[in-house]
Structure 1
Amino acid sequence: MVCAAQEVRKKLAEGVENIKAAPGRLFHARSPPPPRKFLAYFWRALLGTIRGMSSSSEPKSFRSGETVAWTRDLPQYSADDGWVLKYRFFWPAGVSAVTVSAVGDGTVHSLSLSAAETALMQPGAASIWAYVERFIGSPSGPERVDLGITAVQIGTNLLNAGALDPRSSNQRALDDLRAALAAYASGGSAHVAEYQIGDRTMKFRSLREIQDLIAHYEREIRRANFEARPRVLYRG
């Protein structure tokens, strides 16, 4: 099976070839079009080549106790051919896995989790395994195809919360580390100190150890903020 990255690179190459195959529509030797027009042609050619690839829109995060819904287009696994899209939620430990099934309409598979269903899900880090199944009367059992695993963060049910700290776990750890750095610096440099950092108690033997962790969490927060930025798609 060709991995997703290889497939995308292949489709990009095909898009470029489509552009090369029709140069007269893209530019003229004496008067090249403006970049925006060129990009519009490029994206139209590229999008034409990647039709048929499955599009995934599983959530990266949601909150326990809220309704969550998403769809996934799977051209190779149509409900008309008997395929059913399923998801299995896993937690690191202590909680049993949960399996849910999507409703198919042709190649589009839709899943909706009610507020009551997500209220039973433990907050914290979890993983969603996506796969499709179909039963064709084979004695060996159903056909099953793995569609990959997605990480998801499940937030606390606010209806059950008595207090709320809107900071992320990384931001709380960073704030604690900065407070620990100030306390450690004021207490001298030749000692071992213990501080509460997020949900853990940590010991430090030097300012450098605290500073390195601060740099780590600053990078993680910048990365999370970048990934959370809205994406604008342009169509020609």
Structure 2
Amino acid sequence: MHFEDWLVSIGKSAKTAKSYSGAIFGVMSTWAAKAGLVHQSLQEIKSVEAFDSVRLGIRQLAIFDARNTVGKGMYSAALNTYAEYLADVTQEHIALDINKIFADSTLTETERATLANTRLGQGKFRSRLIEHWNGCAVTGYRDTRFLVASHIKPWSRSNNEERLDPFNGLLLLPNLDKIFDLGYISFEKSGAICISRELEGFETLGVHGQLRARLAKQHHDYLTYHRDVVFKGR
């Protein structure tokens, strides 16, 4: 996914997306090249770690400081957001987590393999949910940086195929993810929310009876399991 498209996908306006993209691949690439930080364009950088080094160099340029002041922080915002974009599309943080797992001498080989496969699977699962939902499954909130990939049938009770099935998941805001995971809300086949009687003060969590999930037929069996096994009742 290109940077400008990614910006729109996380809820930025088309105008902001165009401005950030133009700044990164236009003037800031020119500044970086003239300063010897890159050969041609910032677009050639594919690593978050490499970009962080270049980003620091750009921020130290006098022209950046002057233009960023005039632009009311637009250039620094574009740099920061491009770093988030690289982290998202490269899933570099997952690779770092896996490296840490294999470097942990307290784990057995079997434990390392299990944890690494789990972490890798989480990244794939989240990517599939983002592709399917394009935002929170309930509220429609679009900035995927703040959304959680939540299994409908719990990961611990799913087989390997179910663990990666995008229809066994909802992309949710953190508050909804937590109470869904704990069984205090669920959803009917129609998408209508079910709220447990045990959930006190749910309005303060942003939960109300008009919330609905945008479901496909393939979600139904997983949600039947969730209502029957996980949900704490009405």
* TMscore range, shorter length: under 0.3
Larger-Rg structure? 1
The structure whose residues are more often helix, as a share, is 2
TM-score, normalised to structure 2, is 0.26
TM-score, normalised to structure 1, is 0.26
The structure whose residues are more often strand, as a share, is 1
